[in-house]
Structure 1
Amino acid sequence: MIETPVENPRHQALRQALARVRQQVAQLEAALDEPYRQFTGSAVWVGPAARRFGEELSRQRQRLRTQAAKVIRELEEELGRTPEKVSPAVAQEQSRRFG
């Protein structure tokens, strides 16, 4: 008897996690946008210390974006490696693990 494949709970869990992470990443990235815009858009603070602060803010903003993209990329890759459909037995075992 051939079993009809069913939805893979692990695939579903990864898809949901990816959606949550994308939403949170968007919020994290936006968190530094306004301070960066304000700092670089007008002379709110000038001098060598201000320049160093601005450079560090820019580096940290870029680092956050790079790391966030890495997390999303890794989740996308794992999702791509995870079959959407599996046998009922595998689905049951995955369901216990990823509920």
Structure 2
Amino acid sequence: MTETPVLNPRHQALQQTLARVRQLVAQLETALDEPYRQFTGTAVWVGPVARQFGEELSLHRRRLRTQAAKVITELEEELGRTPEKVSPAVAREQARHLPGWT
């Protein structure tokens, strides 16, 4: 007799994690926007050192966005590789390895 597949706790945990990470990434992606806007919007500081600082700020802003996007992509890929439903035995085994799942 074949057991009816059940929701995979690991898939559910990945979905929840992805949703939370998307929220946090949205905050991270804009974390440097206001300082960047303030720095580039008016001549608050000029000269070669200021120019170098502005370039570094821009670089860090882009890098932060790129790395945040990579985190989401990796989670999405892992979620895509994880079956939504599994046998009850596999679900129990998956649940044993997840914090907060019983």
Residue pairs, 1:5-84, within 5 angstroms: 5-84=5-84
TM-score (norm 2): 0.94
- Cα distance in 2 for partners of 1:12, 1:95 equals 10
The number of residue pairs the alignment matches comes to 99
For residues 19 and 45 of structure 2, the distance between their equivalents in structure 1, rounded to whole angstroms, comes to 38
RMSD: 0.6
Determine the C-alpha separation between the residues in 2 that align with 1:24 and 1:86: 30
Residue by residue over 1:58-84, the C-alpha shift from the partner in whole angstroms, topping out at 9 and shown as x without a partner, is: 000000001000110000000000000
* Matches of 2:22 and 2:44, distance apart in 1: 32
Q: Distance in 2 between matches of 1:39 and 1:72?
A: 29
Whichever structure has more helix as a proportion of its residues is 1
Q: Which amino acid aligns with 1:8?
A: N
**Moved >2 Å (runs of 4+):** none
Kindly, what percent of the aligned residue pairs are identical?
82
| TM-score, normalising length: structure 1 | 0.97
For structure 1, the residue ranges without an aligned partner over 5 or more in a row are none
CA distance in 1 between partners of 2:70 and 2:64 (Å): 10
